[in-house]
Each structure stands twice: as C-alpha cells, then as structure tokens.
Amino acid sequence: MCGIVGYVGSQEATPIILDGLGRLEYRGYDSAGVAVLQQANIEVRRDVGKLINLRHRVYQQPIHGSIGIGHTRWATHGVPAEHNAHPHVSMNGDFVVVHNGIVENYQELREELTAEGVTFTSETDTEVIVQLVERLAANGVHDLTEAARQTVKHLRGAHAIVLMSRHQPDRLVAIRIGNAGGVAIGVGEQENYVASDMPAILEYTRRMVFLETRQIATITADGITLQTLDGAPVEAVIHNIPYDPVSAVKGEYKHFMQKEIYEQPRSITDTIRGRIDFEHQTVHIPELNLTAERAQSLTRMVTVACGTSYYSGLVGKFFIEHMARLNVEVDYGSEYRYRDPILDANTAVLAITQSGETVDTLAALEEAREKKSLIWSIVNAIGSQAMRVADGYITMNAGPEIGVASTKAFTTSIVDQYLLALYLGQLRGTLKPDVLHRYTQDIARLPNLVGQTLELENHIEELARLFYKASNFLYLGRGINYPIALEGALKLKEISYIHAEGYPAGEMKHGPIALIDEQMPVLAIALKDSVYDKMISQIEQSKARGGKVIAVATEGDEFTSRVTWPKA
Ligand code: GLU
C-alpha cells in the first residue's frame, strides 16, 4: 500500500520524510521518492525497491531544505520503475506532486495535454495532476491552493494528493477526495506534517487534523487553513491522539470494524494494483502459475470456503462462469470434507480464506491434492498454510483485519475472483479484447464507487435508528445479489444480534412470503439490472403484506424510492 509524508518547518525535511516513509514500510511498495525545495528549486530523488535504496541515493546526492514531500509507490498505472516513482514534477519544474489513488480519466487528460505540447516523463496516471496545475499557472492561476482546487475538478476517482510549488516555498497543499486513503495533518510548533497514515508522523506530534472528503488544506509552518472544494472555509478540529498503541492504530475511527469498512476503497485499489496493465488492457496474475494450456484443460472449478468467504465464492461463481465459461460449484469447507466429492485433474479447487488457516477449508484442499486437482487459494495472510499448499494463489492485499466480522476481506476476495475470471477468460480465449477492456475500465472505477457509498453513512445511521428494535429481518436479492443478501443477513446476526435470513427473492412466493408483516422489515437489493422489474414486484408484494421495505437501489432511481418505506 502506498504512502505519503510531507513536512514544512525549519528542520531538514529529508530525514523526517524518510523516517515517516520507513514507518509505513510494512505496507509494501515497489519504489519510493522524495522532493525537497532546495534554494527555490525542486530537487527530487527516487529509486525502485526498498527504502534503503532511496536512502543510499539521498546519501550520495544529499538535498537540503525545510519543506518537502515523499512517497512510497505501489503501482497501479505504469510499471514499477524510477521514472514512474513519485514525486512527479511538472514539465517546467515548477510544481511537484505525490498521489494515492487512481485518476480514472487520465488517458483523456494526457491526450489533451500532449496535444497542447506537454511532455510526459512517466506512464503514470498521477503525472496529469501536476501538469494540469502547471497549465493553470501558465493561465494566471498562481496560487497553489486555487490551482489545486481547479485541477481536481478535472479528475475522476478518489485521491489523496499533496502538492508543492517553487513559487510559494512556504506551503504544501493537501487534498482528499473520496476514500482512496486518509490525509492526517500533524500539528507541531512552528512546523507541520502531513501523511496518508497517522503512524508515519506520530513520533513528532500527537495533535492531528483529519481531512474529510472534498477538503483542501494549505499547510505552512505556522498554520493550517482548511476549505472545501467549493472554497468554503472549514474549521480545523485538532484531535489529541492518546499514547496507547491501540488508539494510535485506530486513529479517527471508533472501532476497528469501522476503520476496516472505511479502508475498503484503499484495500480494493491494493488488490487491483500490478495485476492489470491499463495501457494494454491485459490481466497478469503470475502467482497463479498458470499456463494457457492448463487453463484451457480445466473443465470445472470448485470453490471451498466458510462463512463470509463462502458467500464471496457464490458471488465469484457469477464472474467465472460468465467470463471464463468454466462451471463453478461452491461448497462449505465444513461440509465438503465429510462427503465423497468427485474431483479430478481437470478440476481446479479454489480455497477462499482470509487467515489462510481455516481448518475445514484446508482439509478440503488435502482432499483435492489426493485427487490430483489443481489447487488455488485466495488468502489475506501472506505465508499462511492455504497459500503454501496451493499450486497458485492470489492475495487479497486487504491489510490486517482486526475486527471479528469480516469486511474488507469480503470485498477484496470478490475483487480477486473478478481478476481471476478476467485472467481465465484471457487465457481460455473466452473474452474478446473489447469486452476485457470494458471490464478493466469498470474495475478501475470500483474504489471510488465504494468510497461514494461510504459517504451515505449518515443516511444509513438514520435507517438504523428506525429499525434497531426489530427482532427479525429478511434480506432479499436475485442473481449476483442473492449471495450479497446472504452476507448482509450474516452481518446483521453477527454484529446486531438480530435474527436475519437472506433469501433468493424469486423463492419468496414458495412459502416464506407468509412471514412478512409489519414486524418483519425487508431489505431488498433492487438495482437497475436484468432482474430489476422482478425485484420491484417483490417489493410491492412485501408491502402489500404490511412489510416495511428498505431498498438498496441504483442512485437516481426515483421509482424504487417511491415504492419503498421510509422515504430516502
Ligand atoms: N496511481 C498512482 C500510480 O500508479 C498511485 C499509486 C499509489 O497509490 O502508490 O503511480
């Protein structure tokens, strides 16, 4: 996972930035860099591989100055290489940027800028940001905060960005849009810090200001000014972070589960990274150790998993069957081992397990090994048993999941299966290049869409206040949203101790509909997809029995919002 660190004050910036990046080292990265204003010039040092390489580079070619920014990169767009490492400097050398996230429309912007004569030095999506800032400056927008504000209006996606200009050597400008990651500003005495992750700067100060989405901070040595993207001033609220290690890790969140829910856009980005070549629209999962011949020889796949991972497997079945034309069965690990399953060498058995140590799932893999099937695993814990015994694996890249109820591991394991489906489709020749192109574009939009959904928190809290006394709940979905309904019901049971059932909506008429009355709220997933009309009819039938329906609907779907209760 990538990281940002910045400093402005009177000390040497470089060691503080390198130290901060070092504290984020456990997250992993492919390259790193630092930019410091040295006598009104932007000086950059970058290197691939471990931070020690960058340290060495800085040792050989030191940079001095008391304002700077640094970054550890984990590539999404453009191979890991020195010229793609951040910070990125604008063509005339006046501005420099570090960035976490994905600029979804970078290709259009890059073409537009190139046509205007801008030369790019990297293949990243990030570089357009700094070139746009420089174009604005050339057009008379000299204030960095203002240029940043105008620039981000052109960007699609979720971002954490920090900019520096050689024309305003006293300030850094930090922006957060969506949930690509946080921006924490550390408040010091005549010096200030900024980081994507609080632990990077906790050593220096315990006083933190957290940027909300769509806020910009102008950070100088003696102050921090916040405003919204629309230019409205915002008061900077300083949080005093306690000294205990748990508070330090939890940061701005009430508990770990909340933190992990909010980490999803970032974890999903980390899961996509390095696996899609956005320039050539191809998917690469070398850890699967799979040749095209072997992929084509497969006749069947069996997914084995427990709990939330089982529901994730049910979702993945839709992708893999559709894109790779491979028949998928999904089984509970805890049941599978007690059957006499039919497996052969043309079957791939996929285990999904966050910890990689789920005993029932591992037992299923043993069975698969004896029957000479191909063994794959999707795991979060690197080096775990399920990863070691597999012929090939895909990591979730979700980071540690401390909350007991699985959240980000659910969504990242679904993304892994989406990538698996694309990869198998590519190797088996079942996906035409234009379709593959569309799917890879879609997945690049996902982190931002998840972030936008998280912004509905207040509305969801209002609903929770209306329904928390219910003792039963029904979750309904069809098609790919049926397993999502199952997972939703599991979460309600696990976290709220409310009995809940997930049900395929089309099956309601075969009996369970009789259960619905005003005491049985219904959560219906009614998106504008191929089964939309059927879901609407289900909602109407539920309401006819006095049921209260919460619909999870597509944004702007007025009809669903009219037929459900309460009103959104
Ligand atoms: N999308 C950017 C890149 O590939 C940022 C990657 C990161 O978050 O480290 O360079």
The CATH number covering residue 360 comes to 3.40.50.10490
What's the rounded Cα separation, in Å, for the pair 139 and 147? 10
Give the mutation target among 83, 100, 272, 277 for probing the ligand 1 site: most ligand atoms within 8 A of CB: 100
Residues 158 and 45 in one domain: yes
Closest residue by Cα to residue 401 from 381, 415, 386: 381
Residues lining ligand 1, Cβ inside 6 A: 2, 73-78, 99-100, 102, 124-126
pLDDT at position 565 is: 55
Give the mutation target among 88, 99, 179, 269 for probing the ligand 1 site: most ligand atoms within 8 A of CB: 99
Residues 202 and 342 in one domain: no
| Contacts (Cβ under 8 Å, ≥6 apart) of 211 | 174, 175, 176, 182, 183, 184, 185, 217, 226
- Give the DSSP letter of residue 69: E
Tokens matching residue 43: 């000086």
pLDDT at position 77 is: 92
pTM beyond 0.85, yes or no? no
Residues in the chain, how many?
568
Counted domains in the chain: 3
Residue 469: pLDDT above 50? yes
Residues 405 and 526 in one domain: no
Tokens matching residue 415: 């993304």
| pLDDT tens-place string over residues 291-302 | 999 999 999 999
Mean pLDDT, range 77-91, rounded to an integer? 96
Query: Is 249 domain-assigned?
Result: no
**Helix-strand-coil split of the chain, %, nearest 5:** 40, 25, 35
Tokens matching residue 353: 């397990």
| Contacts (Cβ under 8 Å, ≥6 apart) of 132 | 109, 113, 151, 154
Residues 32 and 173 in one domain: yes
Give the mutation target among 79, 97, 124, 156 for probing the ligand 1 site: most ligand atoms within 8 A of CB: 124
How far is ligand 1, taken at its centre, from the CA of residue 20, in Å?
18
Residues 377 and 410 in one domain: yes
Residues 467 and 445 in one domain: no
pLDDT at position 333 is: 92
What's the rounded Cα separation, in Å, for the pair 43 and 133? 18
In terms of phi and psi (left: phi > 0; alpha: psi -120 to 50; beta: otherwise), the region of 40 is left
Closest residue by Cα to residue 476 from 497, 506, 511: 506
State yes or no: cis peptide before 400, omega within 30 of 0: no
Closest residue by Cα to residue 179 from 450, 545, 542: 450
Query: Is 568 domain-assigned?
Result: no
Residue 1: pLDDT above 60? no
| Identity of the amino acid at 515 | L
| pLDDT tens-place string over residues 144-201 | 999 999 999 999 998 999 999 999 999 999 999 988 778 999 999 999 999 998 889 9
How far is ligand 1, taken at its centre, from the CA of residue 541, in Å?
48
What's the rounded Cα separation, in Å, for the pair 515 and 365? 40
State yes or no: cis peptide before 566, omega within 30 of 0: yes
Measuring from atom 5 of ligand 1, which residue has the nearest CA?
A: 100
What's the rounded Cα separation, in Å, for the pair 48 and 83? 9
Range of the domain at 479: 457-563
Using DSSP's 3-state secondary structure scheme, residue 551 falls into: strand
Atom of ligand 1 nearest to the CA of 124: 10
Using DSSP's 3-state secondary structure scheme, residue 164 falls into: strand
Atom of ligand 1 nearest to the CA of 100: 8
Query: Is 299 domain-assigned?
Result: yes
pLDDT at position 568 is: 41
